[in-house]
Structure 1
Amino acid sequence: MKPLSLADRFFVLQARTLERAALRFVAPQRILRVLFALIARIGGRLPRGMIPIRDRHGALWFRPDAVARDAPVILYIHGGGFTIGGPRTHAALVGALAKAAGMRAVAASYRLAPEHPFPAARDDAIATYARLVEAGTPPIAIAGDSAGGCLSLSVLQHARDMGWPLPKAACLIAPIGDLSGSVEARFGEAENEILIPPQWPARIREVYLRGLDPTAPEISPLLGDLSGLPPTLIQAATGEALAQDSARIVAAMDDATLDLWPGLQHVWHLHAGRAPVADRAIAQLADFIKSHA
């Protein structure tokens, strides 16, 4: 791995101090949504000339220059602990992935907790996939980060069980696989976790599940059947808490690879267009998708 640039190191420091403190001490999700939106707007940059288009379902569509209007589609499901984030916060990441792959991409919109607890997010993600299938454009690949990685796995399991066309590849960034057990302890024990404090996952599980059984496969896809899914590449930061889930997911799948990056924060890809290490990681995801298209 190349040495981190000054910009890369700046965003690591920002995650370790400002962002981690916000996730630890700020409980209201509405405030965190505003903070996340501001950080995302400043911290990432869309490819030059790319203007996302919002559809009537709230999803954002990305089409790089010189890419055909009927080019294959990558479905991206954003993270944010099921409580914050949206297509706009992940626009730089998704736009960069579309450009690097030379394909179209759509960033799904889904309802957030605590206003809309489980199964709202899962239902909306599945509905987005179903609309693509019904339109005759099933996604060539599905991708997602953190909570979005969890939803991506759940969508794949549902599509497989329903007999829908499956993508040719999946790309996940530090996905949540298992919401059972003591999530607070797992994050507290991860000594190299730069971004997420133990209080954050404990808090989001409470508002997202509202007392539901976290061992249900629809909630924790790692506790369900992960066989028969497309080839998958998972990227995560070495030593982050969700690298553990990532390793367990890889072990449970038929064809999956874990790619660990040292010294970085959870989902560093959000700084696409401004942090060279984010652009390199996204380029590898794009290469994986193209190699299976």
Structure 2
Amino acid sequence: MTSTGAPSSYTWQLPPVRTSTQATPPELAERRASMDSLPRPAHPGVDISDVRYGDVPCVVCAPPQARGTALYLHGGGYRLGSVALSTAFAARLAVATGARVVAADYRLAPEHPFPAAPHDAAQVYERLLSESDAPPVVLGDSAGGGLGAALVVACARSGVSVPGGLVLLSAWLDLRCAAGSYRSRAATDQLFSLDAARQAADQYLQGHPADDPLASPLLGDLDAFPPTLLCASTDEVLLDDSVAFGSALARAGVATSASYVPGVPHAWPSVFLDLPASAETLDVVARFVRPLLAKEPS
């Protein structure tokens, strides 16, 4: 694995990393093991390599003549998911956008509670900033979308250049888990639920306040946010997170685009890759991202 371990040149305004107070539930360990046993797919025309940015393992998906860089943060409620599982989607992102896509394997709860994930995202983002004159675009789905938005909050607080753009797919943006769509969409969302959200939030936060904008970026100061694309299903319990976040961005004067798609599952573009709706949303993402990438080849 290639390593890019340059020392930090920023003072990130993040809380210190904490020791976990919770054991890993056996059923969570079993779910991870079954997911991690799946083979990592190859993707024709995309160079896939393992790279370590500081302490964080990453997978890099580079199309021919890549232009610009995108950081991708996977979903999984901060307790599931990996770059191995996300490689197929990251490769498709690379082909669609033309960007070199770096997928980060940030630490998971409950073994690594908040703020381990923001620390890891910041470490990878800082290394990517050092590689180019232009900030990378950041993309994330579900919890990874929340982490991507939290990264922007951390950048703004720390005097670090914010991303060139932000793409949030079915993003989990408010860990208070109080949105009305948890109940109004309970019957149509087969992948996420209020109970699952509360359990995941408890395992991630472990007593840290849910209203901290680094955990719930919906509650943050959004004035410094870059152009943002929000995509969500009208059938998912996190619908209200995206709707509320888009409204807050608009009030802050941030250029905001939104795509709300009926009849699709939570995080459909990254989880259900072969759905026609996934291809359509990937095209929406690509048309948003391409103009935001650095003009010179990366």
TM norm. shorter chain > 0.5: yes
Deviation at 1:193, TM superposition (A): 1.6
Give, as a single letter, the amino acid of the residue that structure 1 aligns with 2:188.
N
Deviation at 1:153, TM superposition (A): 0.5
1:269 paired with 2:269, answer yes
In the alignment, what sits opposite 2:292?
Answer: 292
- Work out which structure has the larger RCO, using CA pairs closer than 8 Å and 6 or more positions apart in sequence: 1
1:67 paired residue among 60, 65, 86: 65
In the alignment, what sits opposite 2:156?
Answer: 160
1:28 paired with 2:27, answer yes
Give, as a single letter, the amino acid of the residue that structure 1 aligns with 2:182.
F
Task: Kindly report which structure 2 residues correspond to 1:1-293, keeping only aligned pairs within 5 A, or say none.
Answer: 28-37=27-36, 47-56=43-52, 57-64=56-63, 66-68=64-66, 71-136=67-132, 138-182=134-178, 187-190=182-185, 191-253=187-249, 254-271=254-271, 274-293=274-293
Cα 1:250–1:76 shift into 2, 3 Å: same
Give % identity: 31
Which is richer in helix? 1
- Describe the SS at the equivalent of 2:81: coil
Cα 1:58–1:155 shift into 2, 3 Å: same
Post-superposition Cα deviations, 1:124-148, rounded to whole Å, max 9, x if no partner, equal 1111111112333654311000111
Deviation at 1:121, TM superposition (A): 0.7
Q: Structure 2: any 5+ residue segments left out of the alignment? A: 1-24, 294-298
- Describe the SS at the equivalent of 2:154: helix
Deviation at 1:250, TM superposition (A): 0.4
RMSD between superposed Cα atoms in Å: 2.3
8 Å contact kept, 2:177–2:198? no
Cα 1:155–1:104 shift into 2, 3 Å: same
- The structure 1 segments of at least 4 consecutive aligned residues displaced by more than 6 Å after TM superposition are none
Which is richer in strand? 2
Cα 1:89–1:74 shift into 2, 3 Å: same
Cα 1:265–1:35 shift into 2, 3 Å: farther
The 10-residue stretch of structure 1 (26-35 or 200-209) with the greater mean CA deviation from structure 2: 26-35
8 Å contact kept, 2:233–2:260? yes
Post-superposition Cα deviations, 1:35-81, rounded to whole Å, max 9, x if no partner, equal 4446x769xx65324342111231110111x224xx31011111100
In the alignment, what sits opposite 2:6?
Answer: none
Cα 1:227–1:121 shift into 2, 3 Å: same
- Describe the SS at the equivalent of 2:57: coil
Deviation at 1:188, TM superposition (A): 3.7
The 10-residue stretch of structure 1 (200-209 or 46-55) with the greater mean CA deviation from structure 2: 46-55
Give, as a single letter, the amino acid of the residue that structure 1 aligns with 2:65.
V
Give, as a single letter, the amino acid of the residue that structure 2 aligns with 1:232.
T
Q: In 2, Cα distance between the equivalents of 1:235 and 1:41? A: 28
8 Å contact kept, 2:171–2:242? yes
Q: In 1, Cα distance between the equivalents of 2:48 and 2:264? A: 28
